[in-house]
Amino acid sequence: MTNQKEIYKCELCGSIVEVLHAGAGELVCCGQAMNLMSSKSVDDGKEKHLPFLDLSTVKIGEIPHPMTSEHYIEWVEVIYTDKTIKKNFKAEEGAILELDGIDNIQEIRSYCNVHGLWSLKIK
């Protein structure tokens, strides 16, 4: 069974899927079940990946996250009570997302191509 907003990853090809509608089936890729990704919510070590709000700007980590082709933030997603905003990033550009408003934000998620899924729950 899948639930809305869950994120799954294929360990063979690296495909990532976000569930838009809950369903009773199992997600399969490359002939095997995809793995449900769990998000980390506490930074440990010198790498900083946890998203945070700075006024109306989403940033990643207390210091800028590396944005090289080998190690970068692929996307940031802001989940409001009534909508979701997602921005994809490329290596060599800053992982910063300017928001029109911060009312009703429930969660902010980011995905690092090396260290996986990160989440900050607001409400």
Give the CATH number for residue 61: 2.60.40.730
- Residue 65, domain extent: 51-121
Is 41 inside any structural domain?
Answer: no
Is 73 inside any structural domain?
Answer: yes
Condensed to tens digits (0 to 9), the pLDDT of residues 53-110 reads 888 899 888 778 889 999 999 999 999 999 999 999 999 888 999 998 889 999 999 9
Check whether 47 has a pLDDT greater than 80: no
CATH number at residue 21: 2.20.28
> Are residues 32 and 56 both part of a single domain?
no
Q: How far apart are CA 107 and CA 61, in angstroms?
A: 16
Q: How far apart are CA 17 and CA 105, in angstroms?
A: 22
pLDDT at 40: 86
When divided into structural domains, the chain yields a total of 2
pLDDT at 50: 83
Average pLDDT over the chain reads 91
